Structure 1
């Protein structure tokens, strides 16, 4: 197997608007800092994060034959990361993210691909069998890759993001993955138990932003992973922090460490990502993660 992590779905472009505060005032015009655009979105964040942590990582997705799609392809060429794409006339996904001075964000997400989109499974099949681990983003087309990922000789993860524990859209992903990441923002108390009862997950990681995260291992009591504060990297932008967490968790998991150590690495990587403006502009490297994983190094 020559791919450590193969990500299916989730690349696009973010336009970041730094606003004076959230919610916005009800006025006609608000002066803001220079508006910037980045290659971004959840699948890209996991792929790039794993790449910077020393993993051989690649991505497959549906993009457009447009300026945003060309920009994505150029970046992957420059980074020498494998990229496999299907071109769709609806174009490349785009988000406009409003970011407040304390790093909070509101994302206006233009998914643009039609519901029920189906693509040629050769987009992912060749690479699924080459990978040690497959991460499936919750793109609608990607649900058709779940069976191939489960059948391959690899482990599978997904990120349900702000799942409310009820929306049927997420359930195929929740039940197919060995490792499930999810935000606590909308999560009801019974959702983790539902995943364990109905799926194959060995671990569910519930990410809670400034409150840290919660590690749920099958048949064990949950563990709270405290938030990490890096004294030399104050929070300026939370865009991409969850993706950074996932990437570091997967990289350390593939290194063979315990679930707890993988979650701690995720916390460090997420905190690091919050210390730079924009999306995925300065993700943590393997060397930086190792240095900050030492005792008493987290505050530095």
Structure 2
């Protein structure tokens, strides 16, 4: 009702981005149930857009993940997604204490695993009942061109490994390889990593 959401992403010579987002939210808007209710899938990844907030009620025990992006750990909008997902991804970009926020998600929600990406510093992984682990970043396969989509690529690679039943370390490696690739190509849709290229990179690493 409020119009199409729009984003403009400005990319500097060093590949870093500035994102300008016009959400055009309509209060109370929700995704029509007939688009997703009753769909059977091995896994659902829920966007943190406001109109997806209510889909959890209709996913009937299906494993769910979400990406909180650069949540500051305070904004209430993200909490419904953080506390109702089984696997939570987030970025450390706006966090003063990533570990504290990760532990809070596990304490308040149902997540079994929280993953916090840190760009060139790799990522942090905290399983329920386990210790915090730090993983290094994967070396880039080329010069940085555009960091747009690196987080989404990481999530995709990680979930690809998880749905294949691979160990946590391999999931992190697949996510890191996909994220590293995304940093070396312009835009987000022009040259995404393919399954074959991801597996070749994993085999060579």
Pairwise TM-score range, normalised by the shorter structure: over 0.9
Residue 260 (structure 1) aligns with? 169
Among 187, 197, 208, which residue is 2:118 paired with? 208
Among 90, 98, 119, which residue is 1:182 paired with? 90
Deviations 1:163-209 (A, max 9, x none): 11111111110011110000101124221111011111111010111
User: TM-score, with normalisation over the residues of structure 1?
Assistant: 0.65
Paired residues for 1:1-300 under 5 Å: 89-127=1-39, 130-149=40-59, 151-152=60-61, 154-189=62-97, 190-231=100-141, 233-294=142-203, 297-298=204-205
CA contact (8 A) 2:31 2:55 kept: no
Q: Which has the higher contact order (CA 8 A, sep 6+)?
A: 1
Deviations 1:230-280 (A, max 9, x none): 33x221000011001111111110000012211111000000011111123
CA contact (8 A) 1:210 1:227 kept: yes
Deviations 1:122-165 (A, max 9, x none): 222132xx11000001010101101222x23x210000011111
Q: Which structure 1 segments of 5+ residues have no match?
A: 1-88
Q: Distance in 2 between matches of 1:119 and 1:280?
A: 25
Which of the pair has more CA radius of gyration?
Answer: 1
Q: Could you say what the CA RMSD is over the residues aligned between the two structures, in angstroms?
A: 1.4
Q: Which structure 2 segments of 5+ residues have no match?
A: none
Equivalent pairs counted in the alignment come to: 203
Deviations 1:92-144 (A, max 9, x none): 221111101111000000112323313422222132xx110000010101011
User: TM-score, with normalisation over the residues of structure 2?
Assistant: 0.94
CA contact (8 A) 2:177 2:198 kept: yes
Cα distance change on mapping 1:245 and 1:112 into 2, 3 Å: same
Deviation at 1:284, TM superposition (A): 1.2
CA contact (8 A) 1:178 1:200 kept: yes
Cα distance change on mapping 1:101 and 1:123 into 2, 3 Å: same
* 2:140 partner SS: coil
* 1:126 partner SS: coil
